[in-house]
Amino acid sequence: EEKKALNFIEHIVEEDLEAGFPKKHLRFRFPPEPNGYLHVGHASSICLNFGLGLRYSAPVNLRFDDTNPVKEEKEFVDAIKKDVSWLGFEWENECYASDYFQQLYDWAVQLIKEGKAYVDSQTSEDMALQKGTPTEPGTNSPYRNRNIEENLELFAGMKEGKYPEGSHVLRAKIDMAASNMLMRDPIMYRILHKAHHRTNTDWCIYPMYDWTHGESDYIEQVSHSLCTLEFAPHRELYDWFLDQVVDKNKIRPKQREFARRNLSHTVVSKRKLLQLVEQNVVKGWDDPRMPTISGMRRRGYTPEAIRNFADTIGIAKRENLIDVSLLEFHVREDLNKKAPRVMAVLNPVKVVITNYDKENTEWLKTENNPEDESAGFREIPFTREIYIEKEDFREEANRKFFRLKLGGEVRLKSGYIIKAETCTKDAQGNITEIQCTYDPKSKSGSGTEESLRKVKGTLHWVSVPHAVAAEVRVYDRLFTDESPDTHKDKEFMDFVNPDSLKIITAQVEPSLSSAKVEEHFQFQRLGYFNIDPDSTAEKLVFNRTVPLRDSWAK
Ligand code: ATP
Ligand code: MG
Ligand code: MG
């Protein structure tokens, strides 16, 4: 870790420290708006901010940017806290921009008194017309020179609820000819007669993002306020607002920007994810196909895998698209170490071993995880009738088919070598049963010459009388296009993959009947699977977290 090159944000912090900024004053924050669930893009921002906290032993606040009561809810606050904790991070303080409403109001009054803010009573349409263009200056509002007394009275009236929504706004008096359009008298407050999930009906004016964010950073004494690139043009305004309130003896926060992370075959925008939820394209924010942290958790992704992924992609100065297969690589790599191996047959066909005793059940010893010595061994039942995968058998096949074919041999994992003799078909020609013989001396681990005999293929299998039927949810990409929300002529919704969920009934080994929610397994030769919360004592439900190999690789 120490040897890893610093990212450009860490370089900025290092330069500040070299220039004399005291290390003990470093402080960071992660500032989600509670208007949806966190997604994989947020995971990058969380890893960046909390990663800085760990690197410099500095506190990191979790700050809810809750200034828009129309879209924000307690449900989202709770989900965000759960997700950040689950990723493995601890915040110093749980903060809310809404806790600063009074302070922000007092500062706004101060700005009015200093002639730096005014109440504008035009319609939003008129104000928009006066904004000008990037090459032409805007036009001053007819209310721009309202006297201070009148402004104070109107602003107090706005706060007291005397006026309807849209009738007045408070604007900063900066410069309608500024080359940065955001500096053309930006709105600081609007009237919203809406209850807030924390302040209830205490307020009916709400501060805008630009007015709130920097001042909140200042109140919390955040040293480095990291945000995504679209806020780069806001930095000038962030600094202007700070200039109005900063005390020279206190820490002045510094905004710096990094590129948003985009993941292929999905969308990372709460607004778009909400659309998927509301239009029932998915079953909820935590649907395992969603790129939300809660969806990834339900899918069986681990916090370590997500953190390793975020660390690997690092942060960038320019936006680009990260292929989701890189995330899946990290999921496999982590689960390979952790997930016990079990046997499950997803698409079963019955095999009858004709020379094996009908009454017999043999318990075969098998390793739980070859990647983890401490994982130990378990016993699995073997009987005359077993299930194997349909696709592991062909009546005829060429020499490259290392699975079972008539007249050919395979080893059953942790068991015997069997040879396919005949098979039975239904009227449609589907194979319904395969008759095999086994070599009684070939048992794995028995030390006999036959047990060491090399056959090309090894198959997973499950004993028919012991098998437990389980629902398995097999997921595919949610979108067929790698960048569904970047097309000029089409909506991202046009690219929803109609086959992103397939539900099948698998036959799994009996040890799995006691598996618990979120437990991870490797189904031998198939992939990683976990127990879904929909699972009950009567019916096991698994999610396919990720197949073993990247079938998408070319
Ligand atoms: P969305 O459009 O999904 O709502 P947002 O930026 O409005 O995203 P916030 O809740 O404001 O969402 O985000 C909290 C923090 O996470 C911000 O600092 C934001 O810049 C960062 N963030 C959001 N999306 C990404 C992303 N795709 N990649 C990296 N950081 C992100
Ligand atoms: Mg935001
Ligand atoms: Mg947003």
**pTM confidence score:** 0.95
What does the block give as tokens for 333?
């790599």
Q: Measured in angstroms, how far is the CA atom of residue 455 from the centroid of ligand 3?
A: 57
Instruction: Give me the CATH topology for the region 347-460.
Output: Ribosomal Protein L25; Chain P (2.40.240)
* CATH class of the structural domain 270-340+470-547: mainly alpha
426 annotated binding-site participant: no
Please write the tens of the pLDDT for every residue from 351-369. 999 999 999 999 999 999 9
- Residues 99 and 76: their CA atoms lie apart, in Å, by 17
- Decide whether any atom of ligand 1 lies within 6 Å of the 261 Cβ: yes
Point out the ligand 1 atom lying closest to the alpha carbon of residue 231.
Answer: 20
Decide if 358 contacts 345 (C-beta within 8 A).
no
Q: How many CB atoms lie within 10 A of CB 23?
A: 12
User: 500 CB under 6 A from ligand 1?
Assistant: no
- Over residues 132-155, mean pLDDT: 97
Quick one: which of 237, 209, 238, 234 has its CA closest to 222? Answer: 238
Tokens of 270: 């709460």
Classify burial at 548, counting beta carbons within 10 Å of its beta carbon; exposed 0-12, middle 13-18, buried 19 or more. Answer: middle
- Among candidate residues 225, 223, 293, the one with its CA nearest the CA of residue 263: 293
In this predicted model, what pLDDT tens digit does every residue of 324-354 receive, in sequence order?
Answer: 999 999 999 999 999 999 999 999 999 999 9
Task: Detail the DSSP E strand segments found in 121-248.
Answer: 169-172, 187-191, 205-207, 224-228
Structure tokens at 440: 């009684």
Beta carbons of 482 and 492 less than 8 angstroms apart: no
- Give yes or no for residue 227 CB within 6 A of ligand 1: yes
- Closest ligand relative to 36 C-alpha: 1
Secondary structure of residue 111 in the 3-state scheme: helix
Atom of ligand 1 nearest to the CA of 230: 20
C-alpha pair distances (Å), 102 with each of 54, 97, 357: 32, 10, 82
Instruction: Give residue 182 CA to ligand 3 midpoint distance, Å.
Output: 18
Question: Does position 2 have pLDDT exceeding 60, yes or no?
Answer: no
Query: Please, which residues have CB less than 5 A from ligand 2, an ion?
Result: 33
According to DSSP, residue 501 is labeled E
260 counts as catalytic = yes
- Classify each residue of 68-100 as buried b or exposed e, where b means 16 or more C-beta atoms within 10 Å of its C-beta: bbeebeeebbebbbebbeebebebeeebbbbbb
* Choice among 71, 146, 260, 350 that is catalytic: 260
pLDDT higher than threshold 90 for residue 4: no
Which run of H or E residues covers position 462?
A: strand 462-463
Residue 330 CB–ligand 1 contact under 6 Å: no
Could you tell me the sign of the dihedral formed by the alpha carbons of 351, 352, 355, 356, in that order? Answer: positive
Whole-angstrom distance, CA of residue 93 vs CA of residue 53: 13
Closest CA to 311 of 99, 127, 18, 43: 43
User: What is the C-alpha to C-alpha distance for residues 316 and 328, in angstroms, rounded to an integer?
Assistant: 21
Is-contact 242 252, C-beta < 8 A? Answer: yes
pLDDT (tens digit per residue) in 495-543: 999 999 999 999 999 999 999 997 999 999 999 999 999 999 899 999 9
C-alpha of residue 268 to centroid of ligand 1, in Å: 9
In terms of Cβ atoms closer than 10 Å to its own Cβ (0-12, 13-18, 19+), residue 468 is middle
pLDDT greater than 70 at residue 553: no
Q: Is 153 annotated as a binding residue?
A: no
- Architecture of the 8-258 domain: 3-Layer(aba) Sandwich (3.40)
Interface predicted TM-score of the whole assembly (ipTM), two decimals:
0.97
- 35 marked as part of a ligand binding site: yes
Pocket test of ligand 1: the residue of 7, 38, 42 to mutate, having most ligand atoms within 8 Å of its CB, is 42
Per-residue pLDDT at 554: 32
pLDDT band of residue 3 (cuts 50, 70, 90) is low
Inform me whether the pLDDT recorded for 379 exceeds 60.
yes
Assess whether 230 carries a catalytic annotation: no
Which of 95, 228, 268, 285 best tests ligand 1's pocket when mutated (most atoms within 8 Å of CB)? 228
| pLDDT of 445 strictly over 60 | yes
- Pocket lining: 139 vs ligand 1, CB cutoff 6 Å: no
Look at residues 51, 5, 547, 56 and name the one whose alpha carbon lies nearest to residue 307.
51
Rounded to whole angstroms, what are the CA distances from 394 to 67, 389, 420, 435, 507? 63, 11, 10, 13, 20
Domain ranges in the chain? 8-258, 270-340+470-547, 347-460
Cα–Cα distance, 39 to 48 (Å, whole number): 14
Distance CA 34, CA 396 (A): 59
Collapsing DSSP states into helix, strand and coil, what is residue 422? strand
**Chain-centroid distance, C-alpha 395:** 44
Q: Is 65 annotated as a binding residue?
A: yes
CB atoms within 10 A of CB 337: 12
Reported as a single tens digit per residue, the pLDDT across 179-215 is 999 999 999 999 999 999 999 999 999 999 999 999 9
Give the Å distance between the CA of 33 and the centre of ligand 3: 7
Residue 298: count other Cβ atoms within 10 Å of its Cβ.
24
Q: How far apart are CA 546 and CA 527, in angstroms?
A: 6
For the stretch 403-438, pLDDT in tens is 999 999 999 999 999 999 999 999 999 999 999 999
Ligand 1, pocket-test mutation among 45, 89, 255, most atoms within 8 A of CB: 45
As beta bridge partners, residue 419 has 409, 437
Measured between alpha carbons, how far is 300 from 288 in angstroms, rounded to an integer?
Answer: 8
Output the CA 271–ligand 1 centroid distance in Å. Answer: 11
Share of the chain above pLDDT 70, in %: 99
Do the bridges between strand 362-367 and strand 348-353 make them parallel or antiparallel, or are there none, so unpaired?
A: unpaired
As a whole number, mean pLDDT of residues 277-295 equals 98
Ramachandran area for residue 205 (φ above 0: left; ψ -120 to 50: alpha; else beta): beta
